[in-house]
Amino acid sequence: MKYHLVILGCQMNHADAERVQAIMAKLGYVQTEKEEDADIIGIIACSVRQKAIDKVYSKIAKWNKWKNKKNLITFVSGCILPDDQQKFLKLFDLVFDMKELASFPAMLSQYGVTTPISNNPVVDSEEMKEVARPATPAEKLNFAGLKPVSKVAAPPQTWEVTPIYNSDFEAFIPIQNGCNKFCTFCAVPYTRGREVSRHSVDILEEAKHLIARGYKSITLLGQNVNSYGLDKKGAELSFAELIDQLGEMADNSGREVWIYFTSPHPRDMKRDVIEAIARRRSLAKQIHLPVQSGDDKVLIRMNRKHSMDRYREVVGWIRELVPQATLFTDIIVGFTGETDEQFENTRKAMYEFKYNMAYIAMYSPRPGAASYAWADDVAIAVKKQRYAVLSRDLEKVAIEYTKHLKDKTVRVLVRGTDRKEGYLSGHTEGKIIVRFQSDDMSLVGKFVDVRIDSVRPFSAEGELVGVEALQLG
């Protein structure tokens, strides 16, 4: 029997999907890339963007028509607003929160689904109970020097399920779920709930396992990663302590690893986090720090809980302690009430902080978010114009960094074929895209050295000069 999974939204949804895939594999299902061949089809949905929700409705309408001709079970989970969830109950066979993933096998059984494993008399019924069982303390690895952690009670989480990683060199580790910030434009607190930190013993165990298997890139995930541990004060590591221990573990492994995290919040970012990045070789010198707007009054309306001076202080720590780090951000243009002058302040921020990349979005109201009730009073034509202007500004500041790469040799993690025929591409530690001429697919997943001979604002091109020859001391 086969299953097909559609994944929408951010990296957190993709990490959740890897755990869904693990459940399906344990149940005996084989994944298929063709929807029409599947016996069970699921979606990991995202209510944060209307476009993603529109895709869910389009998909389920098609799948429900197929039920007239074949037996088909559909399910949906992910990052879903309550209103969307209520509507999905009428359209999907199974609707569940990702926190309930460990119970998914039981849900299927109660729904009357006969799984491949349940048809196999050789498989003991107790094996089904092992599908999503969290590891016992005796099964966990020992970490020398790990700060003692008291495991306080927490609701069941997707984290209990060991994922099937979709890559053998890049992996995502969820460390925190939910958000307490309630930015007025954002639906996440209503889709994922309040902040809950995963136990650091489990995070360190997963990271150690990945490093031992030779993973080259590990990204820590959360809606607000640097609030990690704040919901378990006195019983858990701080975010700075967590990444410092991860960095130390990777540094001492004798392997080359780049450890990233996304996304932090400027209000919760502390200097000790930047100090840890500066201290540990394996903590990647790339920081994603969402600003959203360069105007203090807009930030207040957004309920961002940080001022531009506070943001400026954090960037100052980065430039002081990790001057080689690249800086990425998120920006919304055309937020309710944004004036021309306020938009100009965002343009000034672009030039001041010299971002290497900015993910720019035109504001659109989301049901459930506070700003949904406000007038969307910036015309779409104005939003498009501001988007275009800010995108050009970004190109101007980004090229100032990449042009300094010319004639230098940079370390690159090869990720696959490039859109340019006959080329492979990957990214530097700072996540600058680099392409080079080669058709050697054995290089995918390896570190290589590339001498840069031409650059663009967000990418560079060069000649392959070496493969995984770095000596770690």
Overall fold of domain 406-467: OB fold (Dihydrolipoamide Acetyltransferase, E2P) (2.40.50)
Structure letter (DSSP) for residue 14: H
Q: Omega into 263 within 30° of 0, i.e. cis?
A: yes
Residue written as tokens 């879903």? Answer: 80
Distance between CA atoms of residues 287 and 209, nearest Å:
24
By the 8 A CB rule, do 194 and 155 touch? Answer: no
CATH of domain 2-129: 3.40.50.12160
What is the pTM assigned to this prediction? 0.82
In the chain, the N- to C-terminal Cα span, in Å, equals: 49
Domain map (residue ranges) of the chain: 2-129, 154-403, 406-467
For residue 263, the model assigns a pLDDT of 87
Instruction: Name the strand (E) or helix (H) holding 386.
Output: helix 380-402
The torsion defined by the Cα of 464, 469, 472 and 473, in degrees rounded to 10, comes to: -120
Task: Return per-residue pLDDT of the chain as tens, 473 residues.
Answer: 899 999 998 888 888 899 899 889 888 889 999 999 999 999 999 887 778 888 999 999 999 999 989 889 999 998 888 888 889 999 999 998 888 888 888 888 776 665 565 544 333 334 434 443 333 333 333 333 334 333 333 443 577 788 889 899 999 999 998 889 999 998 888 877 889 999 999 999 999 999 999 999 999 999 899 999 999 888 899 999 999 999 999 999 999 999 999 989 999 999 999 999 999 999 999 999 999 999 999 999 999 999 999 999 999 999 999 999 999 999 999 999 999 999 999 999 999 999 999 999 999 888 878 999 999 999 999 999 999 999 999 999 999 999 999 999 999 999 999 999 999 999 999 999 999 999 999 999 999 999 999 999 999 999 999 998 655 54
Q: Residue 280's closest CA among 307, 253, 251?
A: 251
Looking at domain 154-403, which of 3.80.30.20, 1.20.1300.10, 3.30.1490.190, 3.90.226.10 is its CATH number? 3.80.30.20
Distance between CA atoms of residues 99 and 19, nearest Å:
11
- CA 89 vs. chain centroid, Å, equals 27
